Structure 1
Amino acid sequence: AAAAGVEMSGTGYASSEESRLFDYATQGVGCVEVEIDVLTGEHVIRRADLLMDQGRPLNPLIDLGQVEGGFVIALGYFFSEEVLWSPDGSQLSIGTWRYKPP
């Protein structure tokens, strides 16, 4: 982004008097084509398509990065990560300080 001169930040303001700040929804769909060796379990992602309704973003590149990052985290959870949970149901493996994703 820096080499292309693309701005990677956005700003905005919302007032709780104007709207319900945390009342929002995002709709999306994803489809992944995966090739699996049934003898070894080895897998290769051949194609991934993601479609998200983001409304009118302040900066589309920021939203794109968020969607791509979420997709990669989901792949890690699905294929190889051990997601750790506490007895009360909260996620323990939430940061990368002590926990290293694949």
Structure 2
Amino acid sequence: MSKPGTPTPSNTLILRRQLQELTKHPVEGFSAGLVDDDNLFEWEVLIIGPPDTMYEGGFFKARLTFPPEFPLLPPKMSFITPMWHPNSCVSSP
């Protein structure tokens, strides 16, 4: 049994299969790839703004960081491209 926080062959296999599936059958408006070919736990994604939204025509880069405990714990996603989102709006007094 592996220690918590240590990647296992099963979670590495899951990530490799998911990335291969996205490569073989791309999702419209979305692409993903590894930040570094030697690290399956860091993905760079590109999201194309969907039509008929305020983000239409935009290209938004983000990073997905998968924890070693994946899939028991979810990845963290952070946008690299600066963007406005209503949930992150802070009003001034």
Structure number having the greater strand percentage: 2
Higher RCO (C-alpha under 8 Å, 6+ residues apart): 2
TM-score of the superposed pair, with normalisation by structure 2: 0.28
- TM-score, normalization by structure 1: 0.26
